Amino acid sequence: MKSIRTVALGLLAATILSGGAEAADGKLKIGLMFTLSGPAAVLGEQGRDGFLLAVETMNQKLGGLDTELVVIDDEQKPDVAANKARQLVESDKVDFVVGPIFSNILQAIAKPVTDSGAFLISPNAGTSNFAGADCNKNLFVSSYQNDQVHEVLGKVAQDKGYARMFLLAPNYQAGKDSLAGFKHSYKGEVVGEIFTPLGQLDFSAELAQIAAVQPDAVFAFEPGGMGVNLVKQYRQAGLESIPFFSAFTVDETTLPGQKDAALGFFGGANWAPDMDNPQSKAFVAAYEAKYDKVPGTYAMQAYDAAQMIDAAVKAAGGKLEDKDAIRAGLKAADFPSLRGNFKIGNNHYPIQDFYLVKAAKREDGKYQTEIVEKVFSDFQDNYAASCKM
């Protein structure tokens, strides 16, 4: 297994090695598992880079311990991810695994990681099962429960009086969660609902159906390259008069490809680059200076995942063998989240605020999402009551 290792020497000094040995005493070892190849690589790159930036900002020490990182590409393949997760915990002997982006990967790696005694911190994927009946004492989520962001758009559509909606999402767990989340807040008529193959890039058939039905608005969850193509084709099909709502379809990972085609399109989020607090402003400035890209939620949530680990290891006095103390530190979440209001619920998923955001073009020519209004405050997911930890 090829892996990129950052061994307390800074990001620029990372070297490529293979295999792995157990970290020396007093060293924290973390495996990062993101999708780093294929059309969705830009999502994983933001997550990886957000975490690496946090470690660099903290002088390559989390919790006061020298920190070694093993960066893995899950290739967006559950079987590959499960095998690599086992190697991280069995051969590399990592204390934490941070990842992944996609929910089907989270479902594949959760058991091998947590059964080993390592902690799994998901900086993006947040499936409903792990938020509820299948919650796990060694699994923490720094992002959200999948449904929640989509519930934002459902509530906005409901409040705006859109009586007829057309829904679109890829056919995997997060896609199913997305439409369930939207419909939890939306009580109008769904005049069309399509689950597309994961990775689909040609939406001409679906757009023809939208044109024929003429809904009041469209809601879509099509992340990565899927979202880039969908938005461009939506404009090309002349459908811009039908309001376009989405989650993870128009964001900082897709806007560089969508450009003006996405302007004015709405999304839901727990954060945006124009978030008005000191720690977020410092993060955005540092991220743009280092990577020459506008950070999205993938980067923000991974940065916060690093802060969670830092706070937890400090709370345990650097004693990595004291799993109960580290677990308590993760639950306490004693760090300044980039999104401001943030705490961990009983199911180890965040309780936080959510916003309606809109795609905009900055004066410097770069694109970003910007906060329009707060939709939910201190919002806990709908599955937490089923968690019996």
Task: Tell me the CATH class for 2-144+276-348.
Answer: alpha beta
What superfamily in CATH does domain 147-269+354-386 come from? Response regulator (3.40.50.2300)
What does the mean pLDDT of the chain come to? 93
What pLDDT is attached to residue 125?
A: 95
Instruction: With CA atoms as reference, report the closest residue to 99 among 197, 177, 31.
Output: 31
HEC readout, 229-268: HHHHHHHHCCCCCCCEEECCCCCCCCHHHHHHHHCCCEEE
- What are the residue ranges spanned by the domains of the chain? 2-144+276-348, 147-269+354-386
Give the mean model confidence (pLDDT) for residues 275-298. Answer: 98
Please state, as a whole number, how many other Cβ atoms lie within 10 Å of the Cβ of residue 12: 7
Query: Model-level pTM?
Result: 0.91
Q: What average pLDDT does range 58-66 have in this prediction?
A: 97
Asked if 54 and 60 count as a contact pair (C-beta separation under 8 A), the reply is: no
- For the stretch 324-347, pLDDT in tens is 999 999 999 999 999 999 999 999
- Joined tokens for residue 113: 């990681």
Residue 58 has pLDDT above 50, yes or no: yes
The pLDDT value recorded for residue 25 is 62
How far apart, in whole angstroms, are the C-alpha atoms of residue 35 and residue 84?
Answer: 12
Tokens of 236: 């090309």
pLDDT for position 224: 85
User: Same topology for domains 2-144+276-348 and 147-269+354-386, yes or no?
Assistant: yes
What is the average per-residue pLDDT within 309-335? 98
Q: What's the first-to-final CA gap in the chain, in angstroms?
A: 35
Distance CA 2, CA 74 (A): 11
